[in-house]
């Protein structure tokens, strides 16, 4: 079920209203049923995968907690790792691996090829498997207790606001909330409605509007010169941010009305003055997941420098692979991993430069440089394949410029182009509004955003980008 659909606009108030009518002891069961229905609106048969992951990790966590000795605990955690990663590999990466093998055999002139699997990628599989897997790892580490109530644990895995695109919640934060009794609260509802409206504004006014230009240019990279390609790449940077953070805002708002607190997943990432800062602000739930469950177990920075750089690079390479079964995502992850390594190596030189030009100038230059480097990475992320990405880079860096204004507007006409620029301007303006004014005083912010959605919103139910991950 899409947040930006008529179906959801009926589902949300009905579910939230009934939630407050149910006695506390039955609320978990109602939310569980509502969450399964939410997911089954896509493809009901793939709910079996969520159930399999849920039952396995529920049982494994209890076995780990009850096991005597590290050997037995390790055996049980391997069960959770194998099941969740096997689900991910089968449905997300198997065809990528088979296609790569076929390509290699073709280069080697081997007269055989593997048949690709005829399966669809389950929506949200990367999110709910990582959330459930983090829970069993935390139990294994002794950082959280095993949940003995199967229904409440199942709700933790499939909680509908953040089921298909996060944020990836930790059990220590979310699980205890399902046992709390929340009453309807006006102040909390004001915050939630404003947050939801902000999410819809980001999605419908900014992301979906920018998608028209981006899809046209990136769908025909051979037809466009450097300027439209640069502009499309910058537009995509704002598109993917507003698309993803918009989903998160709606999810946080929906949960907040009922009383639940979800973690913030974005913190104005394009104001970051370094790549390190960018990753502390972008997709925070995923970056902290990889930090806690990959980077630190590899040794983190508590080792010799070359190993530290290796740990950093490998973590971001795996993060790129998490995003999708395409070499473009591998390149995107490698790009950010390499940037972070270079940033560590050049830290003293950068500090001396900032001291020389002054803090304010240094910070401003850092923001511009960071945004530019992030946009370069987004080229890999958005391109259909590596060949298209190389075409984009080739035209940009060879300065193939066509000053034809109609080409710059990508055959979408001046109206959509100007509305796209205006939408980005409004987004940046919202960055600097006080949080109290945006979310805590009254519904004025939501009303203003609703008017903008009605005037500037792009029609249609555009799917959220991160649904494919």
d(CA 221, CA 228): 9
Mind spelling out the 3-state secondary structure of the chain?
A: CCCCCHHHHHHHHHHHHHHHHCCHHHHHHHHHHHHHHHHHCCCHHHHHHHHHHHHHHHHHHHHHHHCCCHHHHHHHHHHHHHHHHHHHHHHHHHHHHHHHHHHHHHHCCCCCCCCCCCCCCCCCHHHHHHHHHHHHHHHHHCCCCCCCCHHHHHHHHHCHHHCCCCCCCCHHHHHHHHHCCCCCCHHHHHHHHHHHHHHHHHHHHHHHHHHHHHHHHHHCHHHCCHHHHHHHHHHHHHHHHHHHHHHHHHHHHHHHHHCCCCCCCCCCHHHCCCHHHHHHHCCHHHHHHHHHHHHHHHCCCCCCHHHHHHHHHHHHHHHHHHHCCCHHHHHHHHHHHHHHHHHHHCHHHHHHHHHHHCHHHHHHHHHHHHHHHHHHHHHHHHCCCHHHHHHHHHHHHCCCCCCCHHHHCCCCHHHHHHHHHHHHHHHHHHHCCCHHHHHHCCCHHHHHHHHHHHHHCCCCCCCCHHHHC
363 is catalytic: no
**Radius of gyration of the CA atoms of the chain, in A:** 23
399 dihedral zone (left: phi>0; alpha: psi -120 to 50; beta): left
First to last CA, the chain: 16
Catalytic residue among 7, 103, 109, 323: 323
Q: Which residues are identified as catalytic? A: 323
């Amino acid at each position: 079920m899409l947040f930006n659909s008529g179906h959801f606009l009926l589902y949300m108030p009905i579910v939230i209203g009934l939630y407050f009518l149910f006695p506390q002891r039955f609320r978990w069961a109602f939310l569980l049923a509502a969450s399964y229905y939410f997911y089954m609106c896509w493809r009901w048969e793939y709910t079996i995968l969520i159930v399999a992951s849920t039952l396995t990790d529920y049982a494994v966590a209890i076995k780990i907690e009850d096991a005597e000795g590290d050997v037995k605990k390790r055996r049980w955690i391997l069960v959770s790792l194998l099941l969740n990663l096997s689900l991910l590999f089968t449905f997300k990466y198997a065809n990528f691996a088979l296609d790569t093998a076929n390509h290699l055999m073709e280069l080697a002139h081997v007269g055989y090829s593997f048949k690709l699997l005829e399966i669809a990628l389950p929506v949200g599989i990367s999110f709910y498997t990582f959330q459930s897997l983090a829970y069993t790892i935390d139990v294994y580490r002794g950082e959280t207790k095993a949940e003995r109530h199967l229904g409440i644990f199942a709700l933790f895995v499939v909680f509908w606001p953040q089921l298909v695109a996060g944020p990836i919640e930790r059990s220590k934060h979310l699980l205890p909330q399902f046992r709390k009794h929340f009453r309807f609260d006006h102040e909390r509802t004001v915050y939630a409605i404003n947050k939801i409206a902000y999410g819809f504004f980001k999605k419908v006014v900014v992301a979906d509007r920018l998608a028209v230009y981006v899809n046209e240019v990136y769908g025909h990279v051979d037809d466009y010169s450097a300027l439209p390609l640069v502009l499309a790449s910058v537009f995509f940077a704002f598109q993917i941010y507003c698309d993803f953070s918009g989903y998160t805002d709606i999810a946080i708002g929906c949960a907040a009305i009922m009383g639940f607190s979800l973690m913030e997943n974005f913190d104005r990432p394009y104001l970051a003055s370094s790549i390190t800062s960018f990753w502390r602000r972008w997709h925070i739930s995923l970056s902290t997941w990889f930090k806690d469950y990959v980077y630190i177990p590899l040794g983190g920075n508590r080792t010799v420098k070359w190993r530290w750089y290796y740990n950093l690079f490998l973590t971001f390479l795996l993060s790129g692979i998490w995003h999708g079964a395409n070499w473009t995502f591998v390149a995107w992850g490698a790009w950010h991993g390499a940037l972070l390594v270079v940033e560590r190596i050049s830290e003293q030189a950068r500090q001396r430069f900032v001291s020389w030009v002054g803090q304010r100038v240094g910070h401003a230059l850092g923001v511009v440089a960071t945004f530019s480097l992030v946009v370069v990475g987004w080229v890999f992320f958005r391109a259909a394949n590596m060949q298209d990405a190389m075409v984009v880079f080739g035209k940009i860096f060879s300065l193939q410029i066509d000053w034809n204004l109609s080409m710059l507007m990508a055959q979408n006409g001046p109206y959509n182009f100007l509305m796209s620029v205006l939408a980005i301007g409004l987004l940046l303006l919202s960055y600097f509004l006080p949080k109290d004014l945006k979310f805590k005083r009254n519904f004025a912010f939501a009303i203003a955003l609703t008017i903008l959605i009605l005037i500037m919103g792009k029609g249609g139910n555009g799917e959220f980008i991160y649904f494919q991950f």
